[in-house]
Structure 1
Amino acid sequence: MHAQTPPPHALRIALVEDDVPLRDLILMPGLRTFGFACDAYGTASEFTDAGHTYDIVILDVGLPDANGFDLANTLRARSNVGIVMLTGRSAIDDRVRGLMGGADAYLAKPVDVAELAATLHSLGRRLQPPRDNGSEPGRSPWHLDESGWCLVSPKGRSVALNDAERRVLALLLAAPGRPVARTEMASALTTDIYDFDLHRLDMLVHRLRAKIADASNESLPLRAVRGAGYVMLP
């Protein structure tokens, strides 16, 4: 099992997956980048013997010591934990079996980590509704959700963010209408600003705009200001 110190308010995720390279080199680092507190298990018995409580369990179907469908059924009978099936079995019959057997979501491999993160955040919101903060007057139509790991659009669509995207957007959203210097934004991404290529920041902003437009069908009001940096229009 691989454990980590969770970020504050992170969803607690159990990843039950016996494919070591997929688990340890792709999924675990990727999920941590998107702000989840993850533990990984290679078998069903490792997971059940650990006895830990999680918000969401990600299950492979073809585990070496159990059938993931059966494990999902058992979990659903005992708790309201979120269950995401992640498997190479993409046939419609398998999808129906998983969803009817207690899974909240069914994703086929190979999966994009950003898609998996968005699924987990969406499921987490359903399992743990945000506290009622009233109408929150003065909050920008574009804002980070309560967890700080999803950008919410004016139409209420959520886009899962990785750590770098979250850090940059937090700075910009905190200063609506005010240009934020590229060096200030870069300082949120590195401990050595003098060894940081500012073109990396420009590429991050470019990819972020495209990602949000694709995911929300809305245009992020983030603009470059020549000689100053970037500004989030109010």
Structure 2
Amino acid sequence: MTLTIALLEDDDMLRERILLPRLADFGFLIDGMASAAELELRLLRGVPDIVVLDVGLPDASGYDVARSLRMRHPRMGIVMLTARRDTPDRVRGLNEGADAYLAKPVEIDLLAATLHSLARRLHGDAPSPVATDGWRLADNGWRLIGPSGHGAALTKSERRMLQCLVDAEGETVARDRLIAAVSDNVHDFDPHRLDTLIYRLRRKVAEACGDVLPLSAVHGEGYVLTSLR
């Protein structure tokens, strides 16, 4: 199931150029708005799974918005994303109904992981079957879980690449095939980007999961994933 997110952020550049496209790249169906009034109009079209909102809004206090949302939609997820880092501000946000409180500037990986975690808690989703050696894909392939139980949120390209490797069932996957999996236009794709993508994925997984992803390069051929299904 694709998560629907309403993002309430009055900084146009942050909203339109960073948060919306980056979160969409993690598989979320997301709408952006700049004011509490716009959020109310969005709610008339349906209640999103999660609202991500700033505290400092042009027409309302984010704390008041969170409290109102919690009263009207008790099962909605609420994440406060704000530059206010002090403990009293965090405590107030959580007391007003927020499920999580993240300070700006926020790492997109952390925000995406928070949204996935909150959605699982709200929906009571059952864990995915455990793969060999404790590795598994969860949340419809948008999150990779390591043997330690910790997870890393995946971008669209990472998800496509991992699925291609998983489908190969431990066989080496040629570089051209991986490029075709991650790119909608292979002719404009720089082959070096594949190595960069894999390097960043390995590093992200190691930092988030505390385990080394069993993804190895096969010289002159491609890559192989040895123990994930």
For normalisation by structure 2, the TM-score amounts to 0.92
Describe the SS at the equivalent of 2:134.
coil
* Corresponding residue for residue 67 of structure 2: 73
- Paired residues for 1:109-188 under 5 Å: 109-131=104-126, 136=129, 141-188=134-181
* Unaligned residue ranges in structure 2 (runs of 5+): none
* Corresponding residue for residue 227 of structure 1: 220
Describe the SS at the equivalent of 1:159.
strand
Whether contact under 8 Å (1:86, 1:109) holds in the other structure is yes
Q: How many aligned positions are there? A: 224
1:90 matched to 2:85? The reply is yes
Which residue type is aligned with residue 56 of structure 1? Answer: I
For normalisation by structure 1, the TM-score amounts to 0.90
Which residue type is aligned with residue 142 of structure 2? Answer: W
Distance (whole Å) between structure 2 residues aligned to residue 231 and residue 25 of structure 1? 35
Which residue type is aligned with residue 182 of structure 2? Answer: L
Distance (whole Å) between structure 2 residues aligned to residue 151 and residue 132 of structure 1? 12
Describe the SS at the equivalent of 1:147.
coil
Describe the SS at the equivalent of 1:224.
strand
Change (3 A) 1:37 1:195: closer
Distance (whole Å) between structure 2 residues aligned to residue 132 and residue 114 of structure 1? 21
Whether contact under 8 Å (1:143, 1:173) holds in the other structure is no
47-56 vs 124-133, which deviates more? 124-133
How far the C-alpha of 1:190 sits from its partner, in A, is 2.1
How far the C-alpha of 1:138 sits from its partner, in A, is 6.2
* Corresponding residue for residue 5 of structure 2: 13
1:54 corresponds to which of 34, 48, 51: 48
* Unaligned residue ranges in structure 1 (runs of 5+): 1-8
110-119 vs 64-73, which deviates more? 110-119
Distance (whole Å) between structure 1 residues aligned to residue 205 and residue 115 of structure 2? 18
* Corresponding residue for residue 212 of structure 1: 205
Which residue type is aligned with residue 119 of structure 1? Answer: T
